[in-house]
Amino acid sequence: MDKKRKTGIVIAAVLLALALGSAAWYGSAVESGRISKDSQTTEESGPEGENEEEKQDEEAEEEEKQDEEAEEGEAPEEEPSEEEEEISLEEENGGSVNSSSSQSTGDSYPRPAGTSVVSNPESITALVNKANFLPEGWVPSDLVSVGGGQQLRAEAATALNNLKAAAEADGYTFNVISGYRTKATQISLYSNYMAQDPEGAPYLSAYPRSSEHELGLAMDISPDWSLHYDLLETGLGKWMTAHAHEYGWILRYPEGKTEVTGYVFEAWHYRYVGKSLAAEIKSSGLTLEEYYGSI
């Protein structure tokens, strides 16, 4: 065999081997997915190809997530916790409700900002008004019945009995139509006033825990179980004006003193402060607020 023919046979063998190898690689690539059988093009391989594939997958997942959110709508807002509600309420009230600490009563009538807590609620001379609130949870410990389903603190009840006995001896009879009130009762009364007349209510009814009725030392009186603005013009009213202080009682909200007391004139509302203080207030012509402000 000559040298030229031998060389041709070798070249042919090499070409055949290359062809068979290429065919085997192609079949393996199609089977493994590296080559699309339809397009017969190879996918990108290596780091750049893999990153592009991951990016496409992430974009597909993001689009799917957005579609699901669009179908389901916005998620409901999370309900605020009790602590968040208390903080919000405190902010609405101007921050701290006390010069030294804040207080939450757990109801719709927390003590307003700028007010104080009465330090001596057991005292018969304690000042309870729009600026001085009874301690939360405090109730009189010595309540006694004064008839008509009403109660007063023991000392005030005794003074009332003496007062009524003297009035009856002079021909006048009256009834206590409102004595001690619980906080719940005061909330109900104040809420009713607020529902009817939000602007006028604060002048007609005490904000819960700022009522003298909750102190157990106040009473509303009437000759016939009804309140009368003209009570002081009647025989009973004139008798009370002349003698109530002798038994420790004062007319708490006199006419023309609304700017001082914060309440309209109440001819029926009397407060027990003891004989000594009642006599001083009677002679001075001052309200309880004015008297304390002058000493």
Of 266, 280, 289, 290, which residue is the catalytic one? 266
DSSP 207: P
Residue among 114, 117, 134, 103 at smallest CA distance from 212: 134
Cα separation, 283 vs 287, in Å, equals 11
Strand segments, DSSP code E, in the chain are 116-117, 132-133, 143-147, 150-153, 175-178, 218-222, 249-251, 269-272
Residue among 148, 140, 225 at smallest CA distance from 183: 140
Distance of CA 187 to the CA centre of its chain: 14
SS3 114: coil
DSSP bridge pairs for 251: 270
Q: Strand 116-117 and strand 132-133: pairing?
A: parallel
- The answer to whether 71 is a known catalytic residue is no
Structure tokens at 251: 């007319």
DSSP bridge pairs for 147: 150
Q: Which residues are catalytic?
A: 266
